[in-house]
Each structure stands twice: as C-alpha cells, then as structure tokens.
C-alpha cells in the first residue's frame, strides 16, 4: 500500500489545507486492497458467461439427440398414402405402424342414429316431460325442482328445451329443424354405429299453446357400423374413423365402394430423420466451436475466460471419446456408417448420401444405433447429462456452483472493506477538519501572544523597539 503525504503549507499562514482532497487520496489508497478482489470477481463473471453459454449449447445438443434417441421421437413417425383419397384417407401413421402395402375394401360406411319429433310452433309453450334413454326431462317454467331439490332451468319452449338437453348427459345432441310444418326437435345419438340406438318417449309432452298432447319421435336414420376388409380380413368399426384395422394407422372412410380396392402404403419418414441427424451434427459442432474459442485469445489479444481451465479439457475429452463408440451388434455399429465423420478441428461432417443409403437398407439398425440398450444414443445421452447443467453432478453445473461460492465470498470481502473504509473516511474527515481549524487559528493565536509579550515587556514587534 502506498503512502499519502499531507502538506500543511506555511503553518503560520492561516490558509490550512484541502481536507476533501486529502481524504480522497487516503481513501483511494485504502481501496487499493480491493483491486485484486474486483479483478478476480470480473474474471469469474466472465467465466460464468462462457460456461452458461456452453451449458445452453450442450442442452441444445441433448435436445437434438433426444429427437433421435427417444422412442417417441423422430423415428416413431411414419408416412402413409392412399391410392384413392375419396374412399380412404390416411389421417396418421405412428411408430406402431409396420411399413408395407395394404389392400383396403370399404363395403359400408358407419351411420349414426337420428330422430325427429312432431312439428310445433317455435314460440309455443311446452309442458309435461319426456324420456331420453330412460332419463326424464321435465319441462319447467323455472320454478320446478328435481328429486334432489335442484331448480330445473326454464325450458318451456322448443329452443330452451334443446339447450337444456345439450347441457345435460342424455346421450344425444339436439338441434331444431324448421320447415313448412313448423319447428321440429331433431336428436342425434352421441354414439355412432349400430350400438347407438336411442329410446325416446314424448307422449307426456304437451303443447300448452295449442293444447295438443304427445310429441311423437320417428327414426330418420338407422345407425350402422362401417364394414371393410384389410388384405382380405373383414372387420367393422362403429365410426368412419378407423384406428384398429391396420396397427398404428388411422384411416378416414369416406365412401363405400364394394368393388374397389384401395392401396394404402405405409413407409418410414426418412426425410425428417435426415433433418434430425443434420440438426444433431450442427448442434455438436456448435459445442466444439465453444470449446475451441476458449483455447485462444479474444480480439484484444487477451486469453479467453476459460483458457487453461481444467473443465475445458474434461469437456473436450468426453465429447471426443463419445465419437469412438462402437455398437456391439447390428449392421450399423459406428457413426461413420451413417456418413458422420470427425474433421481435423474436431467438428463433424455429414455425408447425406451415405445416411440416405443406411436408412434405405438398414432402417431398423439405424433406429437401434440411437435407441437400443447400450447404444450410441444411450451412451451419449449419459455423457451429455454428466457434462451439462444437471444437478448435482454436471460439469457445467459444478463449475458454476464453485464460481458462485467464490463470487459470494469476494462480494462479501469487498462489501466489508467498503464499510471499514467508509467508517475510516468519516473519522479522517472529522480529525483533519479539526487539524485544519487549528492551523487556520494559528495566526490569530500568534497575534494574541505578541500582544501579551508587548504588554509585559513593552516591546513592540511592529516598530522593533
């Protein structure tokens, strides 16, 4: 620590000295002890920035790998097509689908039971009750209650009755159809197919406006199941959305063409797989670029924040080792067979032609390379988990935690030192102000001494005699 000299000038001049400037110099000298702490804190914060960015890129790489290694990821997606979309349209094909060509013949479409009631005036008031699938619907003016004491909403017109039915659980959906004869309550079963029949009884309903008792419901459409065959095997479906005829495939039946055979093709979605592998390679190269950058100097020629950091070497070593993985079984045992190879700078390059060939000839082995037990995908997933932000053992996580503890201690040291300096500054200011006041008073005190001396001796300092 340097020293600060205080210049009092001519002590008898009465001019004193600059207290504020003197205190500032002393404080600046005291604050010098904080400099190494602040420099270390700045260095740690720069490391945090680099580590956080690297952790984010490792997380991105993990996500890119997950799309390939997860059973519900990109390999679970299949593609499908129909030779006649006016008869059979494919809605989806999932991982459970088996690639191949299927012959589908649709002989009958599914239908839903529907019913229509006797026409009444749209504004006519209704009274009484009706039965729907064994449940009683009471017509109310808003004052009646059910068996539980709950008030039954007012539904004493056809429109309000429709709303009341639709808000309940009667197994039907109600609409109103208006024609030349008046308004009719139309009911459609909520259950499609042959099993969706509805029991209706409107004999206790009364049109209070006209005095007519009993509303009759007639069947408009007979419910029936869809009938189809897949590769000669007959099956049925209660709806025209068929999910079980071909495992993993959802089909929409649009037309019954008993004599037409529709070819349904299920294939693997190699285009999206190629895209996912490309994303994985790009994400890996980003992480390698992060590591390479930290090995050199910044634009100003100063070492990067993690230069020489042991965690950097650990990350590089683990990632490089992951590329040498050799799978124990299957036609695809290494990255090179997928057209993925390491370059001189540690990044990966992708030969799309080789990848496409591997997917065409050994698709399931490619899947196993990423998803099987003891596979490349499983091994790299573990490696990335150990390197990233995962609590409690991730390399990045531990490095940031250690930095945080050091930063906290440094911040505490600086804060404590600042408090001590602040107290010393207050004390110095008080003491130096007092000293300065004393200096400023010296001329007047000398004058008093001279006067006393003159009074005693008769000597006059001004005349010299």
Place of tokens 């004493």: 156
Residues 6+ apart with CB under 8 A from 423: none
Tens digits of per-residue pLDDT, 199-218?
A: 999 999 888 888 888 989 99
Highest-confidence segment of 73-87, 100-114, 136-150, 254-268:
100-114
The pLDDT value given to residue 460: 63
**pLDDT tier for residue 243 given thresholds of 50, 70 and 90:** very high
Tens digits of per-residue pLDDT, 408-426?
A: 999 999 899 889 889 988 9
- How is the chain split into domains, by residue range? 1-77+269-465, 78-110+225-268, 114-221
Does this model's pTM top 0.85? My answer is no
The pLDDT value given to residue 257: 78
Tens digits of per-residue pLDDT, 7-60?
A: 555 665 556 677 788 888 888 888 888 889 988 998 999 999 999 999 999 999
Tokens coding 150: 């709950």
Tens digits of per-residue pLDDT, 353-405?
A: 999 999 989 988 999 999 999 999 999 999 999 999 888 889 999 999 999 99
Tens digits of per-residue pLDDT, 304-321?
A: 999 999 999 999 999 999
């Amino acid at each position: 620590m340097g020293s600060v000299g205080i210049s009092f000038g001519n002590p008898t001049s009465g001019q004193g000295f600059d207290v504020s400037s003197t205190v500032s110099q002393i404080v600046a000298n005291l604050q010098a002890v904080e400099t190494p702490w602040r420099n270390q804190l700045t260095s740690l914060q720069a490391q945090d920035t680099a580590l956080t960015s690297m952790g984010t890129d490792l997380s991105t790489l993990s996500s890119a790998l997950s799309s390939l290694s997860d059973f519900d990821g990109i390999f679970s997606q299949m593609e499908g097509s129909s030779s006649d979309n006016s008869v059979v349209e494919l809605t989806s094909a999932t991982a459970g689908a088996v690639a191949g060509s299927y012959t589908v013949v649709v002989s009958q479409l599914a239908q839903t039971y529907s019913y229509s009631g006797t026409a009444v005036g749209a504004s006519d008031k209704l009274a009484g009750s009706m039965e729907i699938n064994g449940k009683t619907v009471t017509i109310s003016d808003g004052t009646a209650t059910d068996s539980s004491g709950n008030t039954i909403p007012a539904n004493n017109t056809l429109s309000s009755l429709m709303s009341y039915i639709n808000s309940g659980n009667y197994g039907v959906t109600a609409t109103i159809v208006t024609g030349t004869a008046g308004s009719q309550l139309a009911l459609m079963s909520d259950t499609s197919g042959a099993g969706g029949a509805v029991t209706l009884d409107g004999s206790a309903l009364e049109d209070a406006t006209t005095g007519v008792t009993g509303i009759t419901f007639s069947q408009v459409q007979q419910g029936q199941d869809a009938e189809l065959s897949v590769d000669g095997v007959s099956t049925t479906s209660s709806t025209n959305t068929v999910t079980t005829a071909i495992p993993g495939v959802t089909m929409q039946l649009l037309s019954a063409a008993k004599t037409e055979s529709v070819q349904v093709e299920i294939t693997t979605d190699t285009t999206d797989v190629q895209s996912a592998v490309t994303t994985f390679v790009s994400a890996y190269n980003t992480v390698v670029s992060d590591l390479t950058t930290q090995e050199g100097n910044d634009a100003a020629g100063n070492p990067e924040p993690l230069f020489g950091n042991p965690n950097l070497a650990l990350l590089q070593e683990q990632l490089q080792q992951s590329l040498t993985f050799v799978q124990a079984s299957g036609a695809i045992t290494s990255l090179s067979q997928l057209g993925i190879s390491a370059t001189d700078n540690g990044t990966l390059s992708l030969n799309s032609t080789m990848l496409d060939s591997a997917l065409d000839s050994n698709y399931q082995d490619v899947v196993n390379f990423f998803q099987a037990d003891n596979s490349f995908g499983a091994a790299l997933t573990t490696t990335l988990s150990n390197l990233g932000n995962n609590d409690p053992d991730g390399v990045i996580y531990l490095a940031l935690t250690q930095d945080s503890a050091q930063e906290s201690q440094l911040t505490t040291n600086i804060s404590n030192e600042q408090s001590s300096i602040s107290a010393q500054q207050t004390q110095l200011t008080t003491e130096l102000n007092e000293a300065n006041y004393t200096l400023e008073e010296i001329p007047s005190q000398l004058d008093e001494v001279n006067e006393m001396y003159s009074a005693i001796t008769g000597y006059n300092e001004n005349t010299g005699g």
